[in-house]
Amino acid sequence: MTYGSHSITRILIVTPSLPSSDLAIAANVRNVSGISEDQGGPSNAHIVAGVKGFAGQFNYWYIRVIGKAIPKYRNTIIGRINPFVRRVEFGGMDVTACSDRLVEDYARRNFVTAGGWALEAMAIDGSPTAQKSATPGVDAQRVDPLTGDYHLYALKSGTVTRNSDIIASIKQNGRKAEKLIRQNRSSGAVHLNYSVLTGKGESTFEDGVHRPSSAETWSQMFDLPQDQALELALAIAAEAGKLVRHDASVHINALRLLVATYLQTEEGSDQMDWEFIARRTMQPKSAWKDEDSERHKRAMAALNASGYEPYSEGDEDVADPESEAD
């Protein structure tokens, strides 16, 4: 793969053959999507790259983040509890139920974030004509095989509220990318695209930036008609789900134990200590520092007694289906 040049030939295109496990992945995707090789679009190698790109990014941004939240639980969960709203929301629930909800909310937010990174990786890695851009602020660049025009993309997994910041960024960074393209003597036109991978039903042109619909974006990435591109994208994501083999439940259960033990009114109690939460989130640290330390010691002792194995780098790696036991 090359950056900032007219040639976008990718290494995957010239791969002479695929391992049997990769061929099986591509076959599964084609069977589910109904898109055969003779219909064009991504090659088998690109399909496999899209599947593995999705799974790899999801595991990295979800399993890794959840696992590394264990030693930081007081900042990531405890310190963000709103004692006004949460007390109303949880009503008379005991501390275990409250902890489960708090950790579930945290895990769910990170799940959605990880899915966004995974979709962006899938779009780029699975594309026969797009590549990751070397220009900061530009996520991908693609050369139209028919016109030779360059398309620069700011990719978002879903709709966001602060579009103006994104538009300003793609304009500024798009000009930098265009200079690099011109330095390589490319004669094609350069187009700026703000693309939302899911959630945008209509294509528009605003503020000098093309905003393709989600279907048009996948069509551009996969060089297929919109309906076929969507079927293929959905099938790739579904297949990638099979490679997300590492379960975060061990780390999630550890967070639940830590949070519940920390938030007890006293050791062995099933009551949620809302008064302490109010002090911790709204008063100077000097007012709760000592009690925070005692609660943390109690929580860590409970975690150590549970036999929990801490997260280590590499736990998020995508599993190889051929290496797993039957």
Mean pLDDT (10-residue bins), the chain, 326 residues: 37 64 97 97 98 95 94 97 97 96 96 93 97 86 86 88 71 72 70 93 91 97 98 98 82 98 91 97 98 98 97 63 32
**171 close to 192: Cβ distance less than 8 angstroms:** yes
283 in a structural domain: yes
Q: Examine the domain organization and report whether 34 and 150 are in the same domain.
A: no
One domain, residues 40 and 98: yes
Res 83: pLDDT: 97
Last residue of a domain, one of 183, 203, 222: 222
Predicted pLDDT of residue 257:
98
Same domain membership, residue 197 and residue 153: yes
pLDDT of residue 144: 85
DSSP string, 110-163: HHHHHHHHHHHHHHHHT-SSEEE-SSTT--EEEE-TTT--EEEEEEESS--S-H
Number of domains in the chain: 2
pLDDT value at residue 15: 46
Q: Cα separation of 307 and 318, whole Å? A: 25
Q: With contact defined as beta carbons under 8 Å apart, do 273 and 264 qualify?
A: yes
Looking at residue 310, what DSSP letter applies?
P
Tell me whether residue 324 is in a domain: no
Which pLDDT score, from 0 to 100, does residue 207 have? 82
Considering the domain architecture, whether residues 109 and 217 belong to the same structural domain is answered as no
Domain end among 189, 204, 222: 222
pLDDT at res. 317: 57
322 part of a folded domain: no
Domain span holding position 193? 131-222
Report if residue 321 sits inside a domain. no
Q: Are residues 146 and 106 in the same domain?
A: no
Within a domain: residue 313? no
- Examine the fold and report which residue of 206, 222, 238 is the final residue of a domain before the chain moves on: 222
Are 49 and 95 in the same domain? Answer: yes
What pLDDT is recorded for position 220?
96
CA quadruple 45, 50, 56, 57: dihedral sign: positive
Residues 205 and 231 in one domain: no
Is 158 a member of any domain?
Answer: yes
54 lies in a domain? yes
Say if residue 57 is in the same domain as residue 202: no
31 and 93 belong to one structural domain = yes
Domain assignment of residue 83, yes or no: yes
The closest alpha carbon to 29, from 55, 50, 56, belongs to 50
**How buried is residue 188: exposed, middle or buried, by Cβ count under 10 Å (0-12/13-18/19+)?**
middle
Same domain, 143 and 192: yes
Say whether both 62 and 181 belong to one domain.
Answer: no
